[in-house]
A and B are shown apart, each in its own frame.
Chain A
Amino acid sequence: MKFRRHRENPEAQEGREEIREIAEALSLYRSAMDHLAQRSPMRPFAADWRSGRSFPLRLLLAPALTAAVAAGIFLPVYSYSHHHPVITRPLRTDRQNPAALATVDDTALMNQIDSELSQDVPDALQPLADLSDQTTTNTTVSEKKNVTHE
């Protein structure tokens, strides 16, 4: 029995030794961590955890930083999107002063000219026709006058 036990021992003993070493290392590790945690001074805001001011600085800084980044991104976009209304607004207000009214009149005039120009080009003899019409009317009137005179 003793001989048998002696023969099994080397492997088992090696395993046990390894486990013992690991257990010892883990125990030391735990002690070191415990020592470190026990000796770490409590931060001031933890001691005053009930007050609203005791909030960690990082928790306050994180939203502030996020807001700053967001502002950095959105402000240029916002100002760009509001750039066009800034340009159009003076135009709208300009309509209310005389200079603006003049501009409107000019525009109406230009529209009128444009519409007239876009009409069919008159016939080459059109002015003569008009002129003959005018002469015939003139003659008829003068003839009538003559008739009445007679």
Chain B
Amino acid sequence: MEEIAGNELAIEKREQAVLELADFDEVVRVYRPRILRFLLSSLTDRDVAETLTQETFLKAWAARQQFRGESSLSTWLTRIAVNLMRDHLRSRSLRFWQKTRGASLDVMDISDWIPDGRTSPESQAVARNQVAAVWEAVHKLSAQQRTVFVLRFVEEMELDEIAGTLEMNLSTVKSHLYRALGIIRERMGGAK
């Protein structure tokens, strides 16, 4: 009985996800900030992050017929973004001239975007230092570790969801996350 109810719920979720995809304007409006946030956190180039965000939605639009709702729309879009980012990182070594462009995000740019919830200049400076330390530590991680780390701590995804998105074993995800956290902790400790 419970199994039947579970199946019905799963079917309902799938139908809901497929229905959600039908209004693509709304999909772009809702999920674009999330995809851009993930790509901004994973890449150092703002221009590339924005371009890949656009490409994610273009790909999603082109492949919308293939979406069966087996994962949530958010997971599906994130998977597309991850694949595009992998392709980009793979070809980056060939497009070496991109490194000379001025669209890359700077630590100070990131620190400028901290919400103004702090009253004293001292606490603001501390917050800026903390964000800068995380930013630098994150970009010292390997591509896999960084992706897992960002999906967990920026996108706040569950571990099994990350495993599904990255098509990895749960144990591999845990391993990457453990190592990434170790490196972040070490670097942030050193930065203090």
Interface residues of A (CB under 8 A from B): 18, 21-22, 24-26, 28-40, 42-43, 45-46, 49-50, 54-56, 58-59
Q: Are A32 and B130 in contact (CB under 8 A)?
A: no
What are 8 A-B residue pairs whose CB atoms fall within 8 Å in the complex? A25-B134, A32-B111, A33-B154, A37-B40, A42-B28, A56-B54, A56-B58, A58-B51
- A47 CB to closest chain B CB, in angstroms? 8
- B132: shortest Cβ distance to chain A, in Å? 9
Closest-by-CB residue of A relative to B116 is A35
CA distance A58 to B133 in the complex (A): 33
Q: For the complex, is B115 an interface residue (Cβ under 8 Å from A)?
A: yes
Whether B36 lies near A40 (C-beta < 8 A) is: yes
B69-77, B163-171, B184-192: which lies at the interface: B184-192
- Please report the total number of B residues contacting A with Cβ < 8 Å: 37
The answer to whether the Cβ of B61 comes within 8 Å of any Cβ in the partner chain is yes
Indicate if the CB atoms of B130 and A24 lie closer than 8 Å: yes
The yes or no answer to B34 lying at the interface (CB within 8 A) is: yes
Name the CB-closest residue of A to B91: A62
14 new A-B contacts at CB < 8 Å, known A29-B134, A33-B110, A49-B61: A29-B110, A29-B131, A29-B135, A29-B154, A31-B114, A32-B115, A33-B41, A36-B113, A37-B34, A40-B46, A43-B50, A46-B53, A55-B58, A59-B55
